[in-house]
Amino acid sequence: MGEELPSKRWRGRVFRARRAAWVGLTVAVLIGGGPLGCAAARAGGPTEVRVLIYDGTDPIAIGARELNTEVALSGEALVVDGREVGNRWSPRGAGPWKVGSRKLRGQIVLRAEAGRIQVLNRVDLEDYVTSTVGGEMSPNWPREALRAQAVAARTYVLHEAAKRRASGWDVRATAASQVYRGIAAESDETRSAARSTRGEVLTYRGEPILAVFHSTAGGRTATAGEVWGQDLPYLRVLEVEEEDEAPHTYWRTLFSAEDLSEVLAAASVDVGSLGGVSVTRRSHSGRVERIEVRGTTQIVELRGSRLKGFVGSLGLRSTLFDIRRTAQGYAFVGSGFGHGVGMSQWGARALAERGSSYQRILARFYPGTRLENWSSRRIAVPAISFGGSPEGATGGQVR
């Protein structure tokens, strides 16, 4: 039906095809002696990742095999099976460990921090990548897509670890960082993806990039500046034509006027009786930047964190949408799933199915970066870049 999909004009603006030629794509391989080392060894970074598994006040069970130990909090001290052990404790043994519902490799460290229990998993970098690939992408997807995900996951965690060196942990185990479910997310396919790309990292000016990714771009990626307020030269607006099979390429969510009024009231937006809601400003990639809410008493413009909170309260899949008044209420008609910055996972899947290597997939979504092997000696340095800047690309400073 007509109102279930974006208008032709809007779809044309957001999804117009750009069949960019791969110009100047070169691969220079430099061979050096010695085996590959850990990806972080070249920069003196961690060979382990510190993953924050739990951060709360409730007691939590820690176990090895079938043995469970309850850890609780008493003031600023940890209490292990009824005995105070100070503000830091690690179970003895080699694991694997059970923490709540997760089964984990590596070492478990608990600490009392600001009246909360924090559980950290210190895990080998490549074991972390193996699990994260399975947490973020289906292991049944094409091999080259899984390899691209492995490089992105490894690069992302090294970027975050470098940024958080003075902190107690590098990344969370949730989608707030990357989804890490431990051994449960490992498979032959994810192990192969990590092993075949071992040590490979995307860099810009010699440092790991912010290798963010999302499910579905909705036809066009966003810049980092649109979403987080600071542009990065390798996170640009790019046309993505390869998402036709993605479940969230098009979506439609309907709210009655009463339901929408309740959401607005919960967000402290009081306009009296609701008269209309419309998009008044979009970003370069077509994503919503401002919404105008009209009522009988006043007109309110939503933007910034207020807009983000409103969109989150509605449960919309992305900010790439139109708003239409219907007989039933207000239809939010949009495309894409996630923040839209960096690699589209469904786009990567389609490219892999068409025969693209993981190197080309990464070059497509992170233009201007280099794929390097971070070992004690640099043994492979493919120069991966576009010939020129894509239409709509924006520059910025590296964080």
Q: Indicate the pTM of the whole model.
A: 0.81
- Please give the Cα distance from 171 to 98 (Å, whole number): 19
For 70-95, give the DSSP string: EEEEETTEEEETTEEEESEE---S--
Nearest residue to 197 via CA among 371, 391, 367: 371
Res 368: pLDDT: 96
- Please give the Cα distance from 267 to 254 (Å, whole number): 19
Query: In 114-147, which positions are buried (b, 16+ CB within 10 angstroms) versus exposed (e)?
Result: eeebbbbbbbebbbbbbbbbbbbbebebbebbbb
Distances from the Cα of 157 to the Cα of 40, 125, 354, 358, 371, angstroms: 10, 9, 29, 19, 15
Structure tokens at 271: 């306009």
CB hemisphere CA count around 159 (13 angstroms): 22
- Would you give per-residue pLDDT tens digits along the chain (399 residues)? 433 334 444 444 443 433 333 323 322 222 222 222 233 334 444 589 999 999 999 999 999 866 689 999 998 899 999 899 999 999 988 889 999 889 999 999 999 998 999 999 999 999 999 999 999 999 999 999 999 999 999 999 999 999 998 889 999 999 999 999 999 999 999 999 999 999 999 999 999 999 999 999 999 999 999 999 999 999 999 999 889 899 999 999 999 999 999 999 998 999 999 999 999 999 999 999 999 999 999 999 999 999 999 999 999 999 999 999 999 999 999 999 999 999 999 999 999 999 999 999 999 999 999 999 985 333 233 334 333 333 332 222 222
Res 166: pLDDT: 86
CB hemisphere CA count around 123 (13 angstroms): 29
Work out the number of other CB atoms within 10 angstroms of the CB of residue 253. 14
Question: Alpha helix locations (H) across 104-231?
Answer: 125-136, 143-163, 188-196, 224-228
